[in-house]
Amino acid sequence: MSSQATLQFKNHLYYSLVVAGGLVALVGLYAVHLMEHHGHIITGMNNQIVWGIPHVFAIFLIVAASGVLNIASIGSVFGKAIYKARAPLAGLLSIAMLAGGLTVLMLDLGRPDRIIVAATNYNITSVFAWNIVLYSGMFALVLVYLWTMMERRMSPWSKPAGLAVFVWRFVLTTGTGLIFAFLTARQAYGSALLPPMFIVLSFAWGLAVFHLAQVAIYAWHGKELDAAILQRKTNLLGVFVIGALYMVATYHFTNLYFAQQTDFEHFILRDGGIYPNLFWWGYVVLGNLLPLLLIYLPGQCGTRRIVAASLAVILGGFALLYVFIIGGQAWPLSIFPGYEVSSSFGDGQIANYRPSLYEFMLGFGGLAIAFVIAIAGIRVLDFMPQDKPYISD
């Protein structure tokens, strides 16, 4: 195929991807319209489970948006050249995923117009209000950070901007963890381990997303990533996966130690039907053991292996969030410890939840928004990593 024909094919493919992403986003907006018109009764959510599948998508995108900036931080703050070359792409992916996640989060409120009230009537005692500042601040800082990296005149400010983003993303992910840690109306969540757990999870999920984006952009330009660089970044993913698994295990072991949480842990890890199945097979096996096997299996770790490992980490992340968010709400709050509670409202009963098609439409709509922003940004500006000859340090 001639170079002209190849260029024409890529142009057609690019616009096809944009159209496909736009259509999926429109499908998500149509689901929002139906939920706005008919109410959340058409979803699987109810009075006990008010955060459904859309929140699983939203929290994953927001946490991964923070974690993907780890690539930029290693480069700008710690001066590692191979990561610094990838910092602009990491910044773009962060903005794209944050936009997609926050869109889902806002549109899943049932009354999206009420976001104006939250933004103009600030409640300093609410962790949700804190996150409005954290999310908007992240957008602003990452945009400034990209400006310092891509504008030659601003390059002296790149390291201070990178340091500010480095600190802010830790605070943002901590704030996301605190949403659950401070939620006293759900017995499953109240733990000081949640903020650090979310930070470590963000490292693994963000790097997995970055790997997929990097492989795609290199394939688009007909280039291959240096084997030494690929191996180094693959090993880093393995370290993050091990760290994330350790934090999740610590969280559950800590809960098992306290008598008031034992029944909940048995429900999540053994007796809860879909929840233990998703936890053990979806998160532990698919999201951790399989990626670690692919990463540390003897032999050269090629592109296909890292793509498979990254996809497994991402799918495992969704499985964990489903168990954590949905399962945590399904378990009844122990209002009077030591006593059985029952009422016509459903107190003391395990809540049932079956996600509807509309919830998946909204969730995938958020993914599509992040996808369109990412590929449009890559098309308009040069986010292709420019590597110098790699020397191990």
Q: What is the pLDDT of residues 266-293, one digit of tens each?
A: 999 988 889 999 999 999 999 999 999 9
How far, in whole angstroms, is CA 169 from its chain's centroid?
13
Across the chain, which has 393 residues, the per-10-residue mean pLDDT values are 74 90 95 87 87 94 93 78 82 94 84 70 76 86 88 82 89 89 77 91 95 89 79 89 95 87 88 92 95 86 87 96 92 69 67 91 95 91 67 49
Terminal C-alpha separation, the chain = 41
Listing DSSP states for 357-380 in one string gives HHHHHHHHHHHHHHHHHHHHHHHH
SS3 of 222, please? coil
Q: What's the Cα-to-Cα distance from 146 to each of 25, 62, 93, 164, 177, rounded to whole Å?
A: 26, 19, 11, 12, 26
Contact, 317 vs 67, CB < 8 A?
Answer: no
Indicate the domain borders of the chain: 184-351
Question: Is the pTM of the predicted complex or chain greater than 0.85?
Answer: yes
List b or e across 199-232, with b for residues whose CB sees 16 or more CB atoms inside 10 angstroms. Answer: bbbbbbbbbbbbbbbbbebbeeeeeebeeebbbb
**Interval 84-111: pLDDT, tens:** 778 888 999 999 999 999 999 888 776 6
